[in-house]
Structure 1
Amino acid sequence: MLIQERLIARVGELCRADPRLTAALTYGSFAAGRGDAHSDVEFWLFFEAAPPDPDGWLDGIGPRLHVVRNEFGAHVVIFPGLVRGEFHVATAADIPSVATWPARGAPASRMVVLDRTGELRRALDALPDRPALPATAAEVAELCGRFANWLLLAHHVASRGELLRAVDALAHAHRHLLWMVRLAEDRTQHWLTPSRAAETDLPPEVVAALHRLTAPAPHTSIIETWRYGRHRWERLADRVGFAVPDALFAALDGLLLAAPSR
């Protein structure tokens, strides 16, 4: 059994045993039936009233290396084995908002972890299986125009010497280019995250062309990014006065710095 499968089972136990919870759902790769050793575990927790301290609730899942609230408000837990868990904490009043999501991404029966009132299942059943795609000429033209917008920005800031800003703009341009390619190739099965499984979704010659547009050695880039980021993290900790997460550092060092780059 994968670590993620044990974590999913444990979260389910905690949800069913907590009377404060009205509903809970899981989403992502495991809900869709394609989870693997590199997949996250992802949940929404809907409490009847004001949610409890999320940190305390997450303690019940088991040991962890680190927890951080991301820029979207979710609590991300890094578990032993460097498995990521994403937890959105909300109230029962937020359940209707589920019906506004662009799509389910998985069968509703696999997503529901707990549903004491049936409201969550109704909200999920109201969602389409897949998100709406650009269909009209105007919609497709707008997508292409957005690609050009980001690409032109990358050009101008690179010409000014702002190379890091150019890389950031290029990432947006590449994302829009992937959407364009998926439309052109009729390979839109991972529309919301167009880079997901692109290497298997798209024809090999298209993948090869797209790879030539990105960093020539992404594994080396990841390793060197961690090496440099680790140093900066430690410097900030010394300057501001907080403790670095030693267990997380050790795990990432073992994963990225102990092995030769590929």
Structure 2
Amino acid sequence: MLQHELIRRVGELCRGDDDLVAALTYGSFPAGEADEHSDIEFWLFFGSAQPNPVGWLEMIAPFRHVVVNEFGSHVVFFPGLVRGEFHFATADEIGSVRTWPARSADLGRMIVVDRTGELRAALASLPSSPELPDPAELCGRFANWLVLAHRVAQRGELLRAVDALGQVQRHLLWMVRLAEGRTEHWLTPSRAAEEELPGPVVAALGRATASAADPGAVREAIAAAWGCGAGYWRRLVDAVPEELFADLTVLSMGAQRHD
């Protein structure tokens, strides 16, 4: 795969750059889950001499385009639409790694360069998996997004309702993963969902996302989301808010009758 050659080249550049204090890779490749569709992803920590990010990226391989995303990282599109994500940071920011929710792989597979040992110490301080939320709070957040989707749809803001339903599905995925004990891809709950979750549940999750920004599709998605979510909420929490359940059940039934 082209990704393997790109990763090799990034490692070569990191080891040869005296201004680079530390570097790590994360995501599917160090986790051993990569395939031909996977991105390559790096954090690069430089000392006093900060590089020109685009110039540094040009040394890896020819690319089609580079853009700074909404999180401040440089996203590179290599030939074949292979995507690379590079975070250019200072050595002073190595300590911020300690605030991450978890490691994504073994230390030996993540560390590319660590000239001071600070990066290894920061990564070693992280848990191997993220802390899971309180089930009742998670289910409440699911209800929050579901009610918002309903309300904005009633106002006629169908695109906003579809956007809210994306959050509904994300929280529903978390609820299902928590109840089914499949939390290995917690930070990206849709990752490998088709392989890790029961087939009927995956189908229900698919129906919980509006197929189009029209009233019927939004109503159908809301009804499907509650049809799946209500059962998982009861599995996760002993004492559920019964009055809210009744309201949401009426909402769901009303959507089904309307269709």
Indicate whether the TM-score tops 0.5. Answer: yes
Structure 2 counterpart of 1:75, one-letter code: H
Task: Write the mapping of 1:1-262 to structure 2, written as runs, cut at 5 A.
Answer: 2-134=1-133, 139-214=134-209
Q: Distance in 2 between matches of 1:214 and 1:197?
A: 17
Aligned partner of residue 128 in structure 1, secondary structure: coil
Max radius of gyration: which structure?
2
TM-score, length-normalised on structure 1?
0.79
Q: Tell me if structure 1 keeps the 8 A contact 2:165–2:208.
A: no
TM-score, length-normalised on structure 2?
0.80
Q: Distance in 2 between matches of 1:131 and 1:166?
A: 30
Aligned partner of residue 50 in structure 2, secondary structure: coil
Q: Distance in 2 between matches of 1:207 and 1:199?
A: 6
Structure 2 counterpart of 1:129, one-letter code: S
Q: Distance in 1 between matches of 2:158 and 2:36?
A: 35
Cα displacement string for residues 197-222 of structure 1 (whole angstroms, at most 9, x for unaligned residues) = 111111112112212223559xxxxx
Aligned partner of residue 214 in structure 1, secondary structure: coil
- What is the Cα deviation at residue 50 of structure 1? 4.9
RMSD over aligned CA atoms reads 1.2
Structure 1 counterpart of 2:144, one-letter code: N
Aligned partner of residue 131 in structure 2, secondary structure: coil
Q: Distance in 2 between matches of 1:149 and 1:192?
A: 20
Q: Tell me if structure 1 keeps the 8 A contact 2:69–2:75.
A: yes
Count the aligned residue pairs. Answer: 212
Uncovered stretches (5+) of structure 1, i.e. residues with no partner: 218-262
Q: Distance in 2 between matches of 1:117 and 1:90?
A: 16
Uncovered stretches (5+) of structure 2, i.e. residues with no partner: 213-259
Q: Distance in 2 between matches of 1:152 and 1:51?
A: 47
Could you tell me the percent identity over the aligned residues?
71
Q: Tell me if structure 2 keeps the 8 A contact 1:67–1:75.
A: yes
Following TM superposition, the consecutive aligned residue runs of length 4 or more in structure 1 with deviations greater than 6 angstroms are none
